[in-house]
Structure 1
Amino acid sequence: MNTFYDVQKLLQKFGIIIYFKDEKNTLAMMDEELKALHDAMLIDHQTFIQARLIINQRRMNKL
């Protein structure tokens, strides 16, 4: 997983599609959904960390 699109595709595998007009809200909701998937042990720890890293990088680029 290397791109924001890859994170979106990961969430789509679980039927999760997130879009808000404000991208900050979109990123926050994606982060919450990733946490829920990780807590439910539906994604492994490495995937969780990589996806959160990509989301955080996108947040930093939007500042």
Structure 2
Amino acid sequence: MRNLYDVQQLLKKFNIYVYLGKRIWDIELMAIELDKLYHSGVVSQKEYLSAKLVLQHEHEIEEQKEKNNG
């Protein structure tokens, strides 16, 4: 997985659509849903870790944006 869109497509396979209106909230909820899928055994460890890295990176970007915007 390379970007947030890829993570969204993974979640979409399980009919999980996330839109809360604020990108950082979306990322956090996607991480929670991904954790649930992994602990349920429906997502491989490789997919899980790859997606978690993408989500962590995107979350850091959003935190920086918020910090820079005040």
TM-score for both structures, normalised by structure 1: 0.94
The ranges of structure 1 where at least 4 consecutive aligned residues each deviate by more than 3 angstroms after the TM superposition are none
Q: CA deviation at 1:46?
A: 1.0
Q: CA deviation at 1:23?
A: 1.4
Work out the CA distance in 2 between the residues paired with 1:51 and 1:2. Answer: 8
Structure 2: where are the runs of 5+ without partners?
65-70
Structure 1: where are the runs of 5+ without partners?
none
Work out the CA distance in 1 between the residues paired with 2:4 and 2:28. Answer: 13
After superposition, the CA RMSD in angstroms is 0.7
% same residue: 27
Partner of 1:55: 55
TM-score for both structures, normalised by structure 2: 0.85
Higher helix share: 2
